[in-house]
Amino acid sequence: MDSAEPILSLKGIGKSFYGNRVLADVSFDVGAGEIIGLVGENGAGKSTLMKILFGMPVISETGGFEGSIYFNGKEARFKTPFDALDAGIGMVHQEFSLIPGFTTTENILLNRESLNSSVLVDVFGPRISTLDRATMESRAKSAIAKLGVTLDPNMLIKEMPVGHKQFTEIARELCRENVKLIVLDEPTAVLTESEAEVLLSTLRLLASEGIAIIFISHRLREVVELCDRVVVLRDGHKIEDFPAKGSSTKQIASLMVGRSMEAQAKIDAASAARSTQSDSDARETILSVENLWVDMPGETVRNVNLSVKKGEIFGIGGLAGQGKLGIPNGIMGLSPAGGSVVLNGTPVELNAPRAALERNMAFVSEDRRGVGLLLDEGIDWNIAFTAMQVQNQFLKPILGGLFLWRSDAAMSNLAEEYIKLLEIKCTGPGQRAGNLSGGNQQKVCLAKAFALRPDVLFVSEPTRGIDIGAKHLVLDTLKKYNSEYGTTIVMVSSELEELRSVCDRIAIVYEGRIEGILPHTAPIEDFGILMAGADRDETTVALVGGN
């Protein structure tokens, strides 16, 4: 299906956000009728690349990009997504961008409706023309027909099953006259296995009509099955570009997560240094989780069983949306949960944050600004509040203990102590947490958890959105805290490298279940396979197909 002239050709694309490089020298071509699978871990640069292609305003606002894009033989530098659409690039988003109260037809033809002309239009301009419903419906029908599926053109979006919504999105892109390239971002993530099958065959049909497709997915099996070529991104670099035929999911997975030699050596050295203390089998179990389910939107946990040894740093990894974030949120009572969580031999009450805190567990949330901080209060309040409310610290009894008086001085001292210890850059303990930078906010969140002197500390995405220097400090602090106080730490992170450099054992979550638990010394390919859930594809089909 390759044509001589590529329809899209990316040459040396690079981009950095505020000095933080996310893409470097990425080049590849897409021919007409070709299906390219674009894969990479979270943060590998896939979405940034697509934002550049689409001329999203966020790119030009942050200083533009390097390199050049050739579309249809001409150099293209789209200023807005509208330019990209006009040029013939369609985009199907991960989140549905459909209007729930409109019908299929209305959504497909939004802003491109067929119009009736009348005298009034001649006088007052096209804004008052009426819709030509009959033509619209036939246009929508022809777009749907190209997909090879049946959709009711008059059905409201909100009444549709998820799969039909996805097809409506694609039909909308197809309905443009000159569409030559369609980008699909995780189109199958929300579909059942059978719906995904239909979608894949639809995509093949479109490709055979000469439309080029860029397919972004975490489901590697689909990528291998569907695509002509696979482009692997890792840390903003293009790692490989090879024909999908004959490759295996295992091979792609290892390319996705594999690290550069130095980084690998560093991790190995760090692992070796810690290997003496990782005789975790000998230690007693502090926390055991059985049949845990957590109803956390976007991070559903279905059935998790794991046990954490006293004093270890236990890592939980996995791709976004597989449920790794749901585990600490469920155990700490922040999201509705069920199952059994046993700490030190006694069960922990679920769905009750206070009960979890009183059992000496602490949680540093991934949602710093939403859950982790009182943005309008000072650093001292932020650090001391939980310890004050749960453990009655920083309180002076007055009138013989009838009332508990807040000791601002003690809170301030505590804040001073942590500001020094964690190198929090601020004007003083009274500075509002909302005015701190991301890294310093994260340090405040850690200090809040440390102030509780927990037995088990859950840390969720501790380095998300903070700069490299702060990252190192946060991770080092966690390690130090673990070795000095013997605190058991459960660390959830999307960054496998980070988990491997800090944790003793790492559990990988896939589709709400623990796919496997590996020691940090295990080869990186093994982690990649677990993350992609490759081993279980057959069972998954059975499970998902069943509902």
Residue numbers at the binding site for another protein (CB under 8 A) = 332, 334, 353-354, 356-358, 363, 365, 367, 370-377, 381, 385-386, 388-390, 392, 395, 403-406
- Comparing CB distances to another protein, the nearer of 202 and 365 is 365
- Comparing CB distances to another protein, the nearer of 388 and 508 is 388
- Comparing CB distances to another protein, the nearer of 45 and 372 is 372
348 within 8 A of 331, measured Cβ to Cβ: yes
Name residue 504's beta-bridge partners. Answer: none
| Placement of tokens 């049946």 in the chain | 150
- Comparing CB distances to another protein, the nearer of 65 and 363 is 363
Q: At closest approach, how far in Å is the CB of 427 from another protein? A: 15
Q: At closest approach, how far in Å is the CB of 414 from another protein? A: 14
Q: At closest approach, how far in Å is the CB of 355 from another protein? A: 8
Q: At closest approach, how far in Å is the CB of 353 from another protein? A: 5
| Placement of tokens 């760090």 in the chain | 270
Name residue 488's beta-bridge partners. Answer: 456
- Comparing CB distances to another protein, the nearer of 161 and 428 is 428
Residue 400's contacts (CB-CB under 8 Å, 6 or more residues apart) are none
CA nearest to 475, candidates 467, 463, 465, 487: 463
Phi/psi zone of residue 311: left (φ > 0), alpha (ψ -120 to 50 degrees), beta? left
Residue type, 186: E
DSSP 177: T
Q: At closest approach, how far in Å is the CB of 232 from another protein? A: 38
- Comparing CB distances to another protein, the nearer of 11 and 464 is 464
- Comparing CB distances to another protein, the nearer of 3 and 392 is 392
- Comparing CB distances to another protein, the nearer of 26 and 436 is 436
Q: At closest approach, how far in Å is the CB of 347 from another protein? A: 18
96 within 8 A of 110, measured Cβ to Cβ: no
Q: In what order do the strands lie in the sheet with 20-31?
A: 20-31, 6-17, 66-71, 74-76
- How far apart, in whole angstroms, are the C-alpha atoms of residue 280 and residue 277? 8
Q: At closest approach, how far in Å is the CB of 412 from another protein? A: 14
Phi/psi zone of residue 414: left (φ > 0), alpha (ψ -120 to 50 degrees), beta? alpha
For residue 413, CA distances in Å to 110, 173, 384, 422 come to 59, 59, 10, 14
Longest dimension (CA), the chain: 88
140 within 8 A of 153, measured Cβ to Cβ: yes
Q: At closest approach, how far in Å is the CB of 352 from another protein? A: 8
140 within 8 A of 193, measured Cβ to Cβ: no
